Amino acid sequence: MTPAVKAILAGYESDNPGVKANLARMLMQGRLGGTGKMVILPVDQGFEHGPARSFAPNPPAYDPHYHFQLAIDAGLSAYAAPLGMLEAGADTFAGQIPTILKVNSSNSWATNINQAVTASVDDALRLGCSAIGFTIYPGADDVFDMIEEIRELSAEAKSVGIATVIWSYPRGGKLSKDGELALDVGAYAAHMAALCGAHIIKVKLPTDHIEQKDAKKAYEGGDWSTQAKRVAHVKQACFNGRRLVVFSGGAAKGADAVFQDARDIRDGGGNGSIIGRNTFQRSREDAMAMLDKIIAIYLGQE
Amino acid sequence: MTPAVKAILAGYESDNPGVKANLARMLMQGRLGGTGKMVILPVDQGFEHGPARSFAPNPPAYDPHYHFQLAIDAGLSAYAAPLGMLEAGADTFAGQIPTILKVNSSNSWATNINQAVTASVDDALRLGCSAIGFTIYPGADDVFDMIEEIRELSAEAKSVGIATVIWSYPRGGKLSKDGELALDVGAYAAHMAALCGAHIIKVKLPTDHIEQKDAKKAYEGGDWSTQAKRVAHVKQACFNGRRLVVFSGGAAKGADAVFQDARDIRDGGGNGSIIGRNTFQRSREDAMAMLDKIIAIYLGQE
Amino acid sequence: MTPAVKAILAGYESDNPGVKANLARMLMQGRLGGTGKMVILPVDQGFEHGPARSFAPNPPAYDPHYHFQLAIDAGLSAYAAPLGMLEAGADTFAGQIPTILKVNSSNSWATNINQAVTASVDDALRLGCSAIGFTIYPGADDVFDMIEEIRELSAEAKSVGIATVIWSYPRGGKLSKDGELALDVGAYAAHMAALCGAHIIKVKLPTDHIEQKDAKKAYEGGDWSTQAKRVAHVKQACFNGRRLVVFSGGAAKGADAVFQDARDIRDGGGNGSIIGRNTFQRSREDAMAMLDKIIAIYLGQE
Amino acid sequence: MTPAVKAILAGYESDNPGVKANLARMLMQGRLGGTGKMVILPVDQGFEHGPARSFAPNPPAYDPHYHFQLAIDAGLSAYAAPLGMLEAGADTFAGQIPTILKVNSSNSWATNINQAVTASVDDALRLGCSAIGFTIYPGADDVFDMIEEIRELSAEAKSVGIATVIWSYPRGGKLSKDGELALDVGAYAAHMAALCGAHIIKVKLPTDHIEQKDAKKAYEGGDWSTQAKRVAHVKQACFNGRRLVVFSGGAAKGADAVFQDARDIRDGGGNGSIIGRNTFQRSREDAMAMLDKIIAIYLGQE
Amino acid sequence: MTPAVKAILAGYESDNPGVKANLARMLMQGRLGGTGKMVILPVDQGFEHGPARSFAPNPPAYDPHYHFQLAIDAGLSAYAAPLGMLEAGADTFAGQIPTILKVNSSNSWATNINQAVTASVDDALRLGCSAIGFTIYPGADDVFDMIEEIRELSAEAKSVGIATVIWSYPRGGKLSKDGELALDVGAYAAHMAALCGAHIIKVKLPTDHIEQKDAKKAYEGGDWSTQAKRVAHVKQACFNGRRLVVFSGGAAKGADAVFQDARDIRDGGGNGSIIGRNTFQRSREDAMAMLDKIIAIYLGQE
C-alpha cells in the first residue's frame, strides 16, 4: 500500500473496511497500481448505442471475453459493464481484474431522459464485483427518481462492502447542449454525485463555457482557459479532492486528443480516465498501444 | 450430453448448475436433442389476440392439452405459454416436455405499449417449468419499467435454477413500423436482452432495412442481402454467439416461407425457431408435417 | 410417458406438477425409464463410514465425477449424494441424470442416533436436483426431532416442485439388533415415512423375524417365508402401493445375493434398488456388469 | 492467472464467480501467488488459550496490527482471526491481504466440546473478508449442531461470494487421544468437511496410527510410513484432490520440524500450511526467517 | 476533541461514525471529559441482588431519578442500568448524560450461571442510549450461548451506531473461587470480550493468583505484585491498549480501598472505574465526596 493510496483511502473515513478494500483493489491493480491514478475500461456502449455502432469497427469486441482480456493485458485498474457482459466472463476471469457492475442503462430509443435499473447489489456480490456503477442525469425531469434509486442501491452496497461509482452526466430539462459540457455544470454535477455518497465520480471533461447566469459571478476572474485548470476545479468541487474523480473521453476521436486529455487530467490532479470507445473500437494492437501511452502519461513518463 | 450442447452451456459460465440443468433439458429434449438447435411451441396468442383469432382456425387448439400433446408428439424442445394454459395441463404432461412460463402478456385492447406481469417464479417452480419467458418492447415509453420487472424476476429465477427467455420486440416510441423489423434494430434488441441477463433470446427475423441514422455507418459495406447473414449478425450481437437465439416466424404464412426461414436460421447459425400460429392454426396433421420438415431442416436433412 | 409411470404418478394426487415432473424425470431416466422400476446410486457412505472404508476398495471412486459417470453410463434412474459430492460435479453433469441431494448425514463417531442436517432445499434448487433425501431412525430417542426436521424440509421442497425421498431405518431405543430388520418393523418404518409425506421410501429388505409382541397376532397365519412376499407386504404398508418403495442392499456382498435381492424386489412389486457399496466398491467394469444384470432383472430378462 | 490456479478453481464448478474471485485472491496473493500453494497465518489462539499463553512469548504480538503486518511482510496468502482481531486492523490494512473471519471459537474453560459462533457473514462483508472460517469437532457429542451451524453460515456466504474454510479437528466422544491424530480419522474428518461444502479444508498432519477397527482393512497393505504419503491420502479423501487442503502445525515446535512438515505437505500434494504459534510466538525476525524458508520450500527451492 | 480521545477513537478503526460519536460522547462527558478516563455509574444491583440489599442502605436510591442525578451532579462519564431503570428517567434526563442500557441480567435465584436478555438495541435507540451493556460468564457451562447472544446484539448495535460494553466476569465450570479473580483468568476474560467485538471492556481488578496450570509459564518471571502492573497486563490483553478497559470495584468496601483501586487503575493505564454499590449505598453527600476524590485521582490531582 503506497502513501498515495493511503491518502486517498483516508478521504473515505466513514466507510467500512469492506468498501475500502474494494477501493484499494482498484487503486492497487495494474500498471498504475499504487499511484492514485486509474484507467478504467467501460463497455456499456452496446446498451447505449447498440452493438453494431459499438463493436462493428472492431468485430472481436462483440465477444465479452475480449474486453476482460484487453483490460487485464493493458494493465488497467478496473473493467465496467452491464449485467450480461459481466455474467459472460466473470467466471473465466474471476479475481483477475476488479469489475464494476453498471446497474442502470439507457438506450438509443429512450423517450425520456432516464435509465432502467438492470442489476442489483446481490448480482455484484455473486459476480465478485468491487463496485456498482450508476448514471444520473442532473438536469433531467427524472433526476430525482434516479437519485433516489442510487441512494437505495448505494446504501445497500456500502453495507456489504461494495463501492459506488456515479456517472454524473448533465442532460435534459433547462440545460442547453453547450451547457451539458459547461464548467459550472460539470463541477455542479460532480459535486452532486459526491453529495449522493459516490466513492468514485465519473464526469466528462468540461469546456470553459459557463452555463448558469447565477454562477457566472463565482467564476469571474478565474482562469479557466486550460483543461487542466478545469479538471482541478472539478476535483475541488468533489470535497476539495477527498473523492476520486475520473473523466470520460466521450466519442471516439484522434489519438493525440486522447493523450492530451490524459495529460490535462493528470496535470489538473484528476484521478484518471474511463475510456471505452476510444480503445475497443480500435484494433487490439492499436488499443494496447494507446493504453500503454495513456498509462505512461499518468506515470509521468510522457 | 453432446459436444454441441456442452459448448453452448459453457457460455453460461456464471450460472448455477440448476439453470444449466434446465437449459440442458431443453437442449436435450425431442428430436433435436443434442444438436444445439431448438424448436419451441409458444401459445400466448390467446392473450395477445384473443381466443377466436388464435384458435378458431383449428378449434381443437382451444384445449390447452392440445398444445402440450402437439409439442410432445412433434418432438419439440419446449412449450411456452401463460399461467392458465400451463396450469390446465402441467399435471397431465408433467415431466414430458420442458415448459416455459410466459410471465407477462399484453392484449389487443392495451392502451399503452407494455405488458402485465401475470405469473411468478414461484408459479414456475410449482408447475415444474424449466424457464420463465418475458417480453420487453425496446423503443416503447415503458421499456425501462419492463426491464426493471425482468431484472427482478430473472434474478429470482437464476437463484432457484430457472432459466430466463426474453422476447425482445422493438415497438413504439421513435421507431417506425419498418424499423421494428430493421436489422440494426433487431440486433440491438437482441443485444439488449443479452445485457439484461437472458439465457435465451427470442427475436423476429430482421429485414435488411437499417433504421437508425447513427447506425448506418456501422452497417455500410456489409452484405445483408440474405436472411442467413442477418441471422448471423443477430447471433454475433448476442455476445458473439455465447447466448442461445431463437427466431419467431411472425404471422401465419405459407409453409414454404416457414421452411425457408428455418433454413436461413440454420445457415446463419441461429439456434432455432419459436413457432406458434404457423403450426397450431393449421390442422394437427398439417402442423405435424410442418414441424417434421422444420426439424429435418435443422437436422440438415432438408 | 408410459402407462406404468402414469399409474405411479396418479398416486401422488395432491402434489403439484413440479414435484410430479421431478418424479417423472427419475421414472423416465435411463434404461428402466418408463417401466416404473428404478435403480438409484447412493454415495453417502463417505459421510457414514469414512472415505477409506468407502472408496479404498476401488480408488477411482474417491473422485465425485466417477459416480456421476457411473450412474449415467449404467443407465440408472438417479444419483444421490451429500452436498459436497454434488457440488463437485453438478455443473459438469448438469441435466444428464436426476440427482437427489441427501440433506442429512451421520458419521461413524456419532454419540447419539441422529443425523446432522447438511444441506437445504435452496441448495437442491441451485444444484438442479430432482429430490431431497433424508434419513429418519424410527425407534431412536431423537426420532421426533428428525421427523420434525423432514416435515419442514419436505413442506418447503413440495412448494418448489422438489420431491422427497425418506430413508427409513429403524434403529436405537427399544429395538433389538434383529428387530432393526424385522418384517413388522420394516413395514412400520416404511409406513411412517409414507405418513410423513415421502414420495419415495427407501427401506432395507426385511427378514421374516417379527419383533413386536403386539404385532405378532397381525402377522400370524401369513406366509412370510420368501423375500418377495415380504417386499409385497412393505409395498402394501405404503398406502397399498400408492408410494414408490426402493430397497437398499446393505453392506457389500456377493453378486448372486445382489441379483437375488433384485429378483425378489421385482417379484414382490417393489420399485427397485438403491445400491451403493455393492457397485462403487467393485471395479468400474464389474460394477457396470452388475448393474447391467440388475437392470435386466428389472426388465424381466433375467 | 496461472494454469495451476485455474486448475484448482475448476474444481469449484458449482460456485459463483464471487466465491471464485475470493479463492483466486488468496491463491494469487503474496510470494506463493500463482503456485497453487498457500501459507495462511491464523491468530485465534488468544481465544483458544488466552492472551498470555499466546502472546507473552513475543509481546508485540498482543497488538492486532502486528499480525496483519507480519502476514503482509512475509508475503503470505491470507490472515485468519476472530472478529475483534480483524476489526482492530481491517481499516488500516484494507485491501492489502485477504482475510478469513474465524466465525466460531472455543476457550480453555469450555465444559463441552463445542464452540460459540462469534461473527457473521455480514461481518465478513463489512470487513472486506475473502472467507469465513469455522471449526467442527468430528467425534464430539455436539458435532451435529456444529455442522448445522456451518451449513447455514456457508450457504449464506456462498450466496454473497464469500468462501468457506473448515477447520476439521476430531475430538471428544469415542475418539482416543491418539485417535485424534490417526490417519483414518484425519482423512475422515477432512472428507466430512468437503462433504459439508468447504472450499478450503484445514486439518492436522496425521500420524500413521489407524484408530477405527472397521477401517483397518481399508488401510492394510498401504504404505503410510511417511508423512508425505499420509498427506497425499488426506488430499485424496478430499474429492481426489478437487478441494484445497492446508495443514496446521499444531503446538510450537523446533524450526526443523516445521520445515520438514512443509516439505512433506508439498511432496504429498497438500496445498500448504496454516501456521500460527510457530511464527508469532517467535520474534518477528525469527518468524520472518522461518516463513521465508517455508515459502522457499513450497517454491521447491529448499 | 482532545488528542487523548482522538488516539482512543483511532483504535476503533472499523466502526462507523455513529459508534465513534457515542464513544466520544462518553469520553467527552463530565469532569473527566477529554482525558481518556471514565467513571461510570452502574445500577443493575437491584436485578442481581434485589432492591432491599441494593437500596435500603440509602433509601433515596430506590428512585431511578436519584442515580441519573447523582451521575450528572458528580460529573461522571455515563450511567448504566437495566431497561426499567432507564425508562423511568430517560425523558427527564434526556441528553444530560450518556446512558448504557444493560441488556441482560441475572438474579439471586438463578439456577444456572447465565443471564436473561431483558432489552434490545431498539430499546437503546428509543431511550437515546450511547451503548448497550452485556455480561458474559467465561467458564460457565452456558458461556457459548451468552457469546452468541452478544454477537447478535452487538452486530445490530454497531450497524445503528450504538457502542457495546461487555462485562466479562469469569465464573462457574472448572474455575475455582480464587480463579475468578486470578490475573491470567481476568486477562483472558478481557481478551475474550475484545475478540467478541466489545468497544468497552469491564472486568474486575485481578489478584496476583495464576489459576491455569498451562498459563503459569507465560507469567513466570513477570512481576505481578502490584495492582497497577496487573491492570497494565489486562490492558495489554485488550489488543495492546486499543480497547477501553474499565474496572469494577466489586462489593462495597472502605473508601480508602476504593481510592487505592482508582490510583492503581490510573497508574496501570486502565481507562477508569465503573463503580456502583460503593457510591449509591452511601449517602448522596458521601457518594459525591467519594466520586469527587476518584475523579481527582484520575485527573492526577491525588
Helix residue ranges, H only, E105-250:
121-126, 143-159, 183-195, 216-219, 227-237
ipTM of the complex: 0.96
Whether chains E and B touch (3+ CB pairs under 8 A) is answered by no
Measuring CA to CA, how many Å separate B279 from each of A165, A259, A280, B101, B205?
50, 59, 44, 19, 17
| Cβ contact, residue pair D17, B17, below 8 Å | no
| Residue in chain B nearest C20 by alpha carbon | B94
Strands, E assignment, A195-267: 200-204, 244-248
Q: Are D127 and D101 in contact (CB under 8 A)?
A: yes
- Residue C47 Cα, gap to closest chain B Cα (Å): 23
Percent of chain D past pLDDT 90, that is, above it, reads: 97
Chain D residues in contact with B16 by the CB 8 A cut-off are: 14, 16
Q: Name residues whose C-beta falls within 8 Å of residue B190's C-beta, 6 or more positions apart in sequence.
A: B168, B201, B203, B234, B237, B238, B245
For residues A167-190, average pLDDT: 96
Whether residue C1 lies within 8 A of chain B, CB to CB, comes out as yes
Helix (H) or strand (E) holding C148: helix C143-159
Eight-class DSSP state of E251: S
Judge whether residue D250 has pLDDT over 70: no
pLDDT digits (tens, 9 = 90+) for A221-278: 999 999 999 999 999 999 999 999 999 976 678 999 999 999 999 999 999 999 999 9
For the annotated catalytic residues of E, the residue numbers are 202
Using an 8 Å CB-CB cutoff, list chain D residues near B159.
159
Cβ contact B236–A126 (<8 Å): no
Check whether E89 has a pLDDT greater than 80.
Answer: yes
CB-CB neighbors (< 8 A) of D90 in chain E = 13-14
Question: Is A17 an interface residue toward D (CB < 8 Å)?
Answer: yes
Which of D173, D195, D215 is nearest residue C111 as measured by Cβ atoms?
D173
Distance separating alpha carbons of residues E117 and E111, to the nearest angstrom: 16
Identify the DSSP state of E71: H
Q: Which of these, A198, A116, A117, A128, lies nearest to A158 by C-alpha position?
A: A198
Contact C89/D at CB under 8 A: yes
Average pLDDT of the residues in A90-115: 97
Q: Residue A44: is it exposed, middle or buried by C-beta count within 10 angstroms (0-12/13-18/19+)?
A: buried
Catalytic residue among A20, A37, A102, A202: A202
Q: Looking at this protein, which amino acid is placed at residue D194?
A: A
Distance (Å, rounded) from C-alpha D39 to C-alpha D98?
12
Chains that touch B (3 or more CB pairs under 8 A): A, C, D
pLDDT at E111: 93
Residues C269/C240, Cβ–Cβ less than 8 Å: no
* Pair C215, C200: CB distance under 8 Å: no
Largest CA distance in chain C: 54
User: Do residue C161 and residue B18 have CB atoms under 8 angstroms apart?
Assistant: no
Query: How far does D86 lie from chain A, in Å, by closest CA?
Result: 10
Residue of D nearest to E171 (CA): D109
Contacts E14 to A, Cβ<8 Å? 16-17
Reduced to 3 states (helix: H, G, I; strand: E, B; else coil), residue B221 is coil
Q: Cβ separation of B14 and D17 shorter than 8 Å?
A: yes
The sign of the torsion formed by the CA atoms of E155, E157, E159, E164 equals negative
Residue A253's pLDDT is: 81
Residue E104's H or E segment, with its range, is strand E104-105
Are the Cβ atoms of E15 and D52 closer than 8 angstroms?
no
Q: What are the tens digits of pLDDT across the range C235-277? A: 999 999 999 999 997 667 899 999 999 999 999 999 999 999 9
Nearest partner of D89 among E194, A103, A249, C219, judged by Cα: E194
Give the separation between CA A163 and CA A178, rounded to whole angstroms.
32
Test E16 with A14 for CB contact under 8 angstroms: yes
pLDDT at B52: 96
pLDDT at A250: 65
The Cα of C238 is separated from the nearest Cα of chain D by a number of Å equal to 30
Report the catalytic residues of C: 202
Q: Nearest C-alpha of chain E: how many angstroms from A159?
A: 9
A109 touches chain B (CB under 8 A): yes
Closest CA to A193 of A203, A178, A207: A203
Contact B290, B282 (CB under 8 A): yes
Cβ–Cβ gap D161/A127 under 8 Å: yes
> Which residues, at least 6 apart from D263, have a Cβ–Cβ distance to it below 8 Å?
D228, D297, D302
Q: Alpha helices of C101-142 — where are they, by DSSP H?
A: 121-126
* Reported confidence tier of residue D265, pLDDT bands at 50, 70, 90: very high
Decide if A34 touches D, using CB distance below 8 A: no
Best probe of the D interface among A8, A13, A20, by most D CBs < 10 A, is A20
> What is the least distance, in Å, from the CA of C28 to any CA of chain B?
8
Below-50 pLDDT ranges, chain B: none
Closest chain B CA to residue A126: B14
Rounded distance, CA C27 to CA C32, Å? 8
Percentage of chain D with pLDDT > 70? 99
Pick from A16, A18, A128: which is nearest to D17 by CB?
Answer: A128
Q: What is the pLDDT, as a whole number, of residue A229?
A: 98
Per-residue model confidence as pLDDT tens digits over A44-70: 999 999 999 999 999 999 999 999 999
Which band of pLDDT confidence, cut at 50, 70 and 90, is reported for residue A14? very high
For residues C82-92, one letter each, b for 16 or more C-beta atoms within 10 angstroms of the residue's C-beta and e for the rest, the string is: bbbbbbbbbbb
- All residues of chain E having their beta carbon less than 8 Å from the beta carbon of residue A13 are 17
List the pLDDT tens digit at each of the 302 positions of chain C.
Answer: 899 999 999 999 999 999 999 999 999 999 999 999 999 999 999 999 999 999 999 999 999 999 999 999 999 999 999 999 999 999 999 999 999 999 999 999 999 999 999 999 999 999 999 999 999 999 999 999 999 999 999 999 999 999 999 999 999 999 999 999 999 999 999 999 999 999 999 999 999 999 999 999 999 999 999 999 999 999 999 999 999 999 997 667 899 999 999 999 999 999 999 999 999 999 999 999 999 999 999 999 98
Give me the mean pLDDT over the E150-161 stretch: 98
On chain D, the residues whose CB falls within 8 A of the CB of E141 are: 111-112
pLDDT of B126 reads 98
Q: How many residues does chain A have?
A: 302
Q: Extract the C-alpha cell encoding B155.
A: 434474478
pLDDT at B249: 72
CA–CA separation, D163 and D199 (whole Å): 6
Chain A CB within 8 Å of residue B223 CB: no
Question: Would the CB atoms of D16 and B14 count as touching at under 8 Å?
Answer: yes
Does A37 have pLDDT greater than 90?
A: yes
CA dist E179 and E175 (Å) reads 6
The residue among A70, A64, A111, A103 whose CA lies nearest residue A85 is A64
- Which residue from D173, D219, D240 is facing C109, i.e. has the nearest CB? D173
The tens digit of pLDDT for each residue in B132-143 reads 999 999 999 999
Q: Which helix (H) or strand (E) holds B150?
A: helix B143-159
Q: How far apart are the first and last CA of chain D?
A: 25
**Residue E20 in contact with residue E200, Cβ under 8 Å?**
no
Q: Judging by beta carbons within 10 Å of its beta carbon (0-12, 13-18, 19+), is residue E117 exposed, middle or buried?
A: middle
Q: How far apart are CA D269 and CA D232, in angstroms?
A: 6
Grid coordinates standing for E50?
434485589
- Catalytic positions of B: 202
Return the SS3 of D226: coil
**What does residue E104 show for φ and ψ, rounded to 5 degrees?**
-140, 155
Can you tell me whether residue C260 is helix, strand or coil?
helix
Amino acid of residue E173 = G
- Band of residue E253 on the pLDDT scale cut at 50, 70, 90: confident
Q: Is E141 on the interface with D (CB under 8 A)?
A: yes
Q: Which residue of B has its CA nearest to A81?
A: B195
| Chain C 165-204, residues with CB within 8 Å of chain D CB atoms | none
- Can you read off the three cell numbers belonging to residue E60? 433515596
Weakest mean pLDDT among A244-253, B133-142, D10-19, E254-263: A244-253
Asked if A160 reaches chain D (Cβ–Cβ under 8 Å), the answer is yes
For position E249, what pLDDT does the model report? 72
Look at residue E250 in the predicted model and tell me its pLDDT: 64
The reply to whether residue D14 touches residue B16, judged by beta carbons under 8 angstroms, is yes
What's the pTM value of the predicted model, to 2 decimals? 0.97
Q: How far is CA A57 from the centre of its chain?
A: 23
Task: Tell me the Cα Rg of chain D.
Answer: 18
Cα–Cα distance measured from residue B136 to residue B139, given in angstroms and rounded to the nearest whole number: 9
